Structure 1
Amino acid sequence: MLRWTDLTQIPEGFGPSVVTLGNFDGVHRGHRAVLATVIEQARERDAQAVAVTFDPHPVAVLRPDQAPRTITPLGLRLDLLEGTGLDAVLVQEFTAELAGWTPERYVEEVFVEALGATAVVVGEDTRFGVRNSGDVSTLRALGDKHGFDVVVLKDLGGDTRWSSSQVRELVATGDVAAAAEILGRPHRISGTVVHGDHRGRELGYPTANLPQEMGGLVPADGVYAGWLLRLDRPEEDAERVLPAAVSIGTNPTFDGHQRRVEAYALDRTDLDLYGEQVGVELVERLRPTERFDSVEELLEQMAHDVERCREVLTSIVPS
């Protein structure tokens, strides 16, 4: 898949293409249904399937105090978009200057001149251009003027609309299982493994600690069943994906104050993961974070948590 971060990187004369526009945060099942239509239309027209997206999220520029927390960092978002079968993705840096473009200018410079669009696929609630002044009727009028078709898709997801906002709400409450139903895969957070207090190793449960600046939306505190992905390893490596118990919180039993994400690879005390890029995929929240009166009580609960993780993960194939 071709990846561009500026209009100047698009080859002159590129096209014809079928284009869609969106933030695609999470690349959830609703997004993938839209992208499947883009790809289908492109194949029928002997054209390139292209998605246009933004970084950062437009709200982060226009109304920073209301900016949504990012579900998937840009790198993962692009990998997920590539997995849909798209031919190219244009990531536009969203700036105040770009926000001031009229719908007409945006369509002409991006869809028509740069991408040679023969069709544009959008949802029925699509808005674009300065102050969101462009809508589907605007796009259709511009399509008539410039010679491209407009394919409008209705909301997807049945009675419950699939949306990035809904995923954020579910993850924030710790309901990662319900979030996975919308995402079509477990929610992932990622980062480079750093040193912690080494307390887990002392207790017999060594953990991979993610940095404070990690990628992806961190869910509510608690203990989760999940997968530890060693992202530096090839996909066919048997050691790349490991079942894990994941703790998110401040370690209240030890009077901790810093919120952390720690993953214990089940039954593995031999791993040295420091400096590795890892992903933590969260399958199910087992319980909230608790403060225990003694280390012995904590160890008893941790043993129970590990067994529950084993039960949850035994019948699941990692993504």
Structure 2
Amino acid sequence: MEIIFLEYPIRSSTAAETAVPKTLAIGHFDGVHRGHQNVIRRSMEAAKAEGLQAAVMTFHPHPKEVLGQGQQYVTCLTPLDDKIKRFLRLGVDVVYVIKFDLSFSAVTPAEFVEDVLRPLQVKKAIVGFDFTFGVRGSGHAETLVSLGQPDIGVEIVEPLMQDGDKVSSTLIRESLLEGSPETARQLLGESYEVRGIVVHGEGRGSKIGFPTANIEPEAAYVMPRQGVYAIMADVEGKLIHGVLNMGVKPTFHEHLPKPVLEAHLFDFNGDLYGKSIMIRFISFLRTEKKFGSIDELVKQIHSDAEQARAVLTAFNM
């Protein structure tokens, strides 16, 4: 898979280097959820049927972040590197990443088609039913159909529904904030993941018999509801079961500036400091609470670990 970073206006030399007739799935694709996957797979199917290259175009950073239209868009379900890896797993040939800045936000729908799609030799564009583009989102899927004529075909993919709701990045965010990684997994098609670096913590876990890996997220991920989770950790390609607390450790602190991720990995004794690990959130076990003593906390951690082991055993069956 080839990854090409673009800025508007696209240089003629860049366009010439990548000017292979292609299908193009277009969208921000935060989460690359099952609805997004439908759009991308349709692009790949059309490419195969018509003998074209299968490409994906995404925008970075999120347009609403650049335009100041929502603080929630400072965080994301899939930072760019994670998003690209998911595109790779889907099997696309090329990923275009367009820098979304104030200059690009002023591009009209007609300029987008004329100055971006045509120079890249897009023969068919595949978009979701709610796709918008161009200045202030003035272009819609139907606009693209009209502007693409006669040389760019357009296919509009209908929404994917689950339990009466449209599969969307917004719904996934809401599910995570409600403490339902199970629902998020159904919408994503895989468990929600957060990648981070293991850093030094307070060392208290080892003293009470539950050593923990303190994880500093590598990007501005959407963080799930604070509490205790059954997790799986990908450590250098090996999946290890565990239990994770995300919170402010009220038993030991009156106030922490931000939640801390502490993972206790079952039957693991290796050195993780400085390593990058991926945490998969499997199930929410309980809310975080303050305990009256260390003994009460240790007893609860034992219970959490037993519950997590049971959940993860059932999950893998």
Which TM-score band applies after superposition, normalised by the shorter structure?
A: over 0.9
8 Å contact kept, 1:245–1:309: yes
- CA distance in 2 between partners of 1:297 and 1:154 (Å): 52
Aligned to 2:114: 108
Q: Indicate the SS of the match to 2:132.
A: coil
TM-superposition CA deviations, 1:272-296 (whole Å, max 9, x none): 1000011111000000001111111
TM-superposition CA deviations, 1:223-271 (whole Å, max 9, x none): 00011112xx2x4xxxx21001010001111125332011111132x22
> Equivalent of 2:180, from 164, 171, 175?
175
> Equivalent of 1:52, from 53, 57, 64?
57
Alignment of 1:136-215 (within 5 A): 136-145=141-150, 147-158=151-162, 159-211=164-216, 214-215=219-220
- CA distance in 2 between partners of 1:261 and 1:67 (Å): 20
8 Å contact kept, 2:194–2:217: no
Aligned to 1:37: 42
8 Å contact kept, 1:248–1:260: yes
Structure with the larger strand share: 2
Aligned to 1:272: 271
Alignment of 1:1-319 (within 5 A): 1-6=1-6, 7-8=10-11, 9=14, 11-12=16-17, 14-68=19-73, 69-114=75-120, 116-145=121-150, 147-158=151-162, 159-211=164-216, 214-230=219-235, 233=236, 235=237, 240-255=238-253, 257-258=255-256, 259-268=259-268, 270-317=269-316
Q: What amino acid is aligned across from residue 114 of structure 2 in structure 1?
A: E
Q: What amino acid is aligned across from residue 113 of structure 2 in structure 1?
A: V
Q: What amino acid is aligned across from residue 60 of structure 2 in structure 1?
A: D
8 Å contact kept, 2:195–2:218: no
Q: Indicate the SS of the match to 1:254.
A: coil
Q: Indicate the SS of the match to 1:24.
A: coil
Q: What amino acid is aligned across from residue 83 of structure 1 in structure 2?
A: R
Q: CA RMSD in A?
A: 1.7
- CA distance in 1 between partners of 2:50 and 2:252 (Å): 62
Q: Indicate the SS of the match to 2:41.
A: helix
- CA distance in 2 between partners of 1:65 and 1:129 (Å): 18
Q: What amino acid is aligned across from residue 300 of structure 2 in structure 1?
A: Q
Q: What amino acid is aligned across from residue 265 of structure 2 in structure 1?
A: A
8 Å contact kept, 1:190–1:215: no
Q: What amino acid is aligned across from residue 153 of structure 2 in structure 1?
A: D
- CA distance in 1 between partners of 2:177 and 2:296 (Å): 28
Q: What amino acid is aligned across from residue 73 of structure 1 in structure 2?
A: P
TM-superposition CA deviations, 1:95-124 (whole Å, max 9, x none): 00000001111112221112x111111122
Percent identity at matched positions? 34
Q: Indicate the SS of the match to 1:113.
A: coil
Q: Indicate the SS of the match to 2:95.
A: strand
Out of 129-138 and 2-11, give the one that drifted further.
2-11
8 Å contact kept, 2:195–2:217: no
TM-superposition CA deviations, 1:154-203 (whole Å, max 9, x none): 11124221000011111112211111110111111111110000111111
**Structure 2 runs not aligned, ≥5 long:** none
Out of 68-77 and 209-218, give the one that drifted further.
209-218
Corresponding pairs, count: 308
- CA distance in 1 between partners of 2:232 and 2:123 (Å): 42
